[in-house]
């Protein structure tokens, strides 16, 4: 279940204070996310629309060149099919392939995520982008259509009202959600910067807080490749906690990580804090090694 924190946050923000939200992943890891603002979302949409327009223009030029070799009706049919695919599949294709990002969102560092903390599901992607057809493309098509009758004028007026309602929707809720996000259960967030934080384990070793009796834990590459930078940063926040609930949270997170990576060493049950320390250190080293090879794993979904 997602937990929300309505406080604005400047962490990871580029510019003004951002609205921060918290979600709890299926592994029990609490992630703090910064919502994208309306201007960023609009700019990403404009970039994507320009890319779509460029693709359509190229298709038209190819179609013109093909008219000499193809039957005009065949060429027109191919053109309509291509336009349909670009209009209806562009956003869904990229958000599924790039884990919640389109070229526009990637350019501005934005991503679509599930509000409940799980993996972004394909049905949610299809739902939010199907609503885009109803929110934007269909009414705009009606607005741009020209008619001479009073009925046509009335239909265009209704289309403008329709567009206005959907355009204003992000201003009518605190998370700036459009109708597609409300139906699909998604947020558009600012992607956390992929910088590894200070090495927590090294700090403890330097301060002499380690113990010779601490058990030694080893992990396979497969176990370390389950998580990415985002989860590493969250794990560090958990290990730094010193409140009353810290031990309970550490025990729960350790249990979920053991289950997720299928770790069967019994010592991980007896000293859960040491287990998380060891996993943090090994995961950090693994991610840094991958970065040196140009392989940047932002999160477990990459």
Phi, psi of 48 (to 5 degrees): -65, -40
Q: Which residue has the tokens 């209704």?
A: 158
pLDDT, residue 145, reads 61
For residue 299, being part of any structural domain is answered with no
pLDDT digits (tens, 9 = 90+) for 220-235: 888 888 888 778 878 8
Of the residues 160, 190, 220, the one at which a domain ends: 190
pTM for the full model? 0.59
- C-alpha 167/C-alpha 136 separation (Å) is 9
With a cut of 50, list the residues of the chain below it in pLDDT: 1-16, 148-150, 194-196, 207-212, 292-294
Residues 167 and 214 in one domain: no
pLDDT of residue 291: 58
pLDDT of residue 62: 81
Number of structural domains, the chain? 2
302 falls within a domain = no
CA–CA distance from 95 to each of 50, 85, 112, 256 (Å)?
Answer: 17, 15, 8, 28
173 & 204 share domain: no
Strand partners, 8: 19
- Does one domain contain both 207 and 125? no
- 3-state helix/strand/coil string of the chain: CCECCCCEECCCCCCCCEEEEEEECCCCCEEEEEECCHHHHHHHHHHHHHHHHHHHHHHHHHHHHHCCCCCHHHHHHHHHHHHHHHHHHHHHHHHHHCCCCCHHHHHHCEEEEECCCCCCCHHHHHHHHHHHHHHHHHHHHHHHCCCCCHHHHHHHHHHHHHHHHHHHHHHCCCCCCCHHHHHHCEEEEECCCCCCCCCHHHHHHHCCCCCCCCCCCCCCHHHHCCCCHHHHHHHHHHHHCCCCCHHHHHHHHHHHHHHHHCCCCCHHHHCHHHHHHHHHHHHHHHHHHHHHCCCCCCCCCC
Convert the pLDDT of each residue in 53-74 to its tens digit.
899 888 888 877 776 666 777 7
Residue 301 in domain: no
Q: Are residues 161 and 260 in the same domain?
A: no
Q: Which of 51, 54, 15, 66 is nearest to 36 (CA)?
A: 15
């Amino acid at each position: 279940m997602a937990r929300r924190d309505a406080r604005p946050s400047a962490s990871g923000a580029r510019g003004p204070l951002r609205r921060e939200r918290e979600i709890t992943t299926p592994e029990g890891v609490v992630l703090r996310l910064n919502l994208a603002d309306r201007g960023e979302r609009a700019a990403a949409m404009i970039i994507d629309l320009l890319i779509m327009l460029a693709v359509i223009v190229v298709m038209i030029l190819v179609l013109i060149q093909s008219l000499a070799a193809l039957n005009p009706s065949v060429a027109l049919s191919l053109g309509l099919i291509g336009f349909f695919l670009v209009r209806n599949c562009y956003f869904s294709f990229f958000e599924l392939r790039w884990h919640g990002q389109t070229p526009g969102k990637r350019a501005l560092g934005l991503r679509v995520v599930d509000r409940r903390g799980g993996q972004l599901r394909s049905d949610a992607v299809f739902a939010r982008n199907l609503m885009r057809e109803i929110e934007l493309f269909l009414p705009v098509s009606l607005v741009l259509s020209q008619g001479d009758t009073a009925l046509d004028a009335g239909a265009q007026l209704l289309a403008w009202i329709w567009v206005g309602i959907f355009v204003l929707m992000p201003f009518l809720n605190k998370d700036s959600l459009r109708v597609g996000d409300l139906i699909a259960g998604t947020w558009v967030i600012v992607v956390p910067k992929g910088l590894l934080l200070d090495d927590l384990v090294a700090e403890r070793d330097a301060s002499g807080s380690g113990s010779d009796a601490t058990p030694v834990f080893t992990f396979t590459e497969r176990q370390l490749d389950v998580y990415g930078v985002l989860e590493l940063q969250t794990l560090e926040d958990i290990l730094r906690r010193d409140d009353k609930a810290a031990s309970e949270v550490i025990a729960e997170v350790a249990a979920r990580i053991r289950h997720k990576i299928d770790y069967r060493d019994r010592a991980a049950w007896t000293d859960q804090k040491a287990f998380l320390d060891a996993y943090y250190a090994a995961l950090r080293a693994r991610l840094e090694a991958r970065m040196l090879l140009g392989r940047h794993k932002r999160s477990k979904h990459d």
